[in-house]
Amino acid sequence: MYPLEISLLESKIGYTFKDKNIIKTALTHSSYAYEQKSHKIDAECNERLEFLGDSVLSLVVSEYLFEKYATKAEGELTKIRASLVCTRSLSSFANKIELGSFLYLGKGEEQTGRTNVKILENAFESLLAAIYVDSGKKETVAKFLIPIIEEEIKTVGADVNYDYKTSLQQFIQAIGNDRIQYVCVGESGPDHNKIFEVVVKINSNTVGTGTGKTKREAEQMAAKEALKLFDVK
């Protein structure tokens, strides 16, 4: 019966919360909070914690990469960080601790919400914020997060190229059965130095435009713009 007991989550993450209310808030989706309020029961959702968790995540990961890869340039570090804090990675991290099983969801989200990549991403960021606020220490967050980050780097490699197309595909699949289409709408320049322009469409709506020296690069840039439009990291 969902959600599972918070004590089980505490054992998975190796941290026991002093304030049980903050971890419950971190696990509370807006759909559940709305339903509770309709019954005149106060319930706060995890959106504020998600906001804080995004910054905590970025700081912890950035400090780790800065220290681990002392010889890498800023651009390389940014690329690695992007691959670690994207929706795909964060939802994967959430799945490693079965975070979906602990979420408080409204009835409308119960069927698919526990595996929804966007909901899992947001909940994971909220969890990080809850650990940070409850412990008062960034180091406590790092103690939990860094081993997960290190495992991810070993799996995908530190020099992974961030795949915006895959991230967009996963996001769209999670929210519905909309069809993604990449269309080359222009070419310019001489044959040895062409620039391609590509748009990405969801159903019939253009949601991103990108240019590149190859169609593949242009598609990646179009997908990146679409992810920015949807506020997907």
The total number of residues shown for the chain amounts to 233
Chain-centroid distance, C-alpha 156: 16
Question: Is 219 considered catalytic here?
Answer: no
Structure token pair of residue 142 = 């790092």
Closest by CA position to 208, among listed 220, 231, 225:
225
Residue 176 falls in which region: left (phi positive, over 0), alpha (psi -120 to 50) or beta? left
54 among known catalytic residues: yes
Q: What are phi and psi of 188, to 5 degrees?
A: -145, 160
Choose, from 35, 50, 54, 152, the residue flagged as catalytic.
Answer: 54
Contact 35, 107 (CB under 8 A): yes
From residue 173, give the alpha-carbon distance in Å to each of 84, 105, 111, 138, 168.
Answer: 20, 20, 15, 34, 9
CB 127 within 8 A of CB 62: no
What is the tally of helices (H) and strands (E) in the chain? 10, 3
Q: What is the DSSP letter of 194?
A: -
Residues 125, 152, 197, 219: which is the catalytic one? Answer: 125
Catalytic residues: 54, 125
